[in-house]
Structure 1
Amino acid sequence: MNQYVIIARDGTDEQAIDRRMAARPTHLEGVKNLKDNNQYISGGAILDDSGKMIGSVMILQFETDQEMQAWYNSDSYITQNVWQTIEIKSFRVANV
């Protein structure tokens, strides 16, 4: 399995939190699907100093880069323009 860390920042415009909240149920349903298929390792929201969600970190795994790209192309945080700055890196979870 190829593992990836996704570090994504939401937009900073006034509608950013509204976009996130609108896309969130679909995004979380997708995360459930990833978990059911052993593709979700960990993840959560990045918070600002006041506790407001401003981004996400996810650790995912896929058999191929093409599977990862298919997830990327369909995730609601991508398709609904929630995440504005996205960094995806190859990753290896430490087995300790």
Structure 2
Amino acid sequence: MNQYVIIAIDGTDSQALERRMAARPSHIAGTRDLKANNHFILGGAILDESGKMTGSVMIVQFEDEAALQNWYLNEPYIQQNVWHSIEIKPFRVADV
């Protein structure tokens, strides 16, 4: 499986947190599906100094780029315009 790190930063407009919270149940449900299918390795929210969620980091794995792209196109935080800046990089979890 190919592994990827996703670093995604939310929008900074006044409705950004509201959009995140509205999309969050679908995002969490999708992440649970990823985990059940051995595609989710690790993830969580990026926080600002006050503890407010401002982005996400995920480490995922897929058989190929097409499967990654399928996930990407169906990710609620992308569909609902939560994430504004998204970096996806090939990654390898250390085997220690």
- Smaller-chain TM-score bracket: over 0.9
> Which amino acid is the alignment partner of residue 75 of structure 2?
D
Residue 20 of structure 1, CA deviation: 0.1
Could you say which residue in structure 2 is the equivalent of 1:51?
Answer: 51
The sequence identity of aligned pairs, in percent, is: 67
Residue 28 of structure 1, CA deviation: 0.2
Q: Determine whether 1:89 maps to 2:89.
A: yes
Residue 38 of structure 1, CA deviation: 0.3
Residue 24 of structure 1, CA deviation: 0.1
Residue 13 of structure 1, CA deviation: 0.2
Could you say which residue in structure 2 is the equivalent of 1:62?
Answer: 62
Structure 1, unaligned stretches of length 5 or more? none
Q: Aligned Cα RMSD in Å? A: 0.2
Residue 35 of structure 1, CA deviation: 0.2
Partners of 2:29 and 2:95 in 1: how far apart? 28
Could you say which residue in structure 2 is the equivalent of 1:79?
Answer: 79
Partners of 1:32 and 1:43 in 2: how far apart? 11
Could you say which residue in structure 2 is the equivalent of 1:8?
Answer: 8
Structure 2, unaligned stretches of length 5 or more? none
Aligned residues: 96
Could you say which residue in structure 2 is the equivalent of 1:31?
Answer: 31
Partners of 2:84 and 2:71 in 1: how far apart? 17
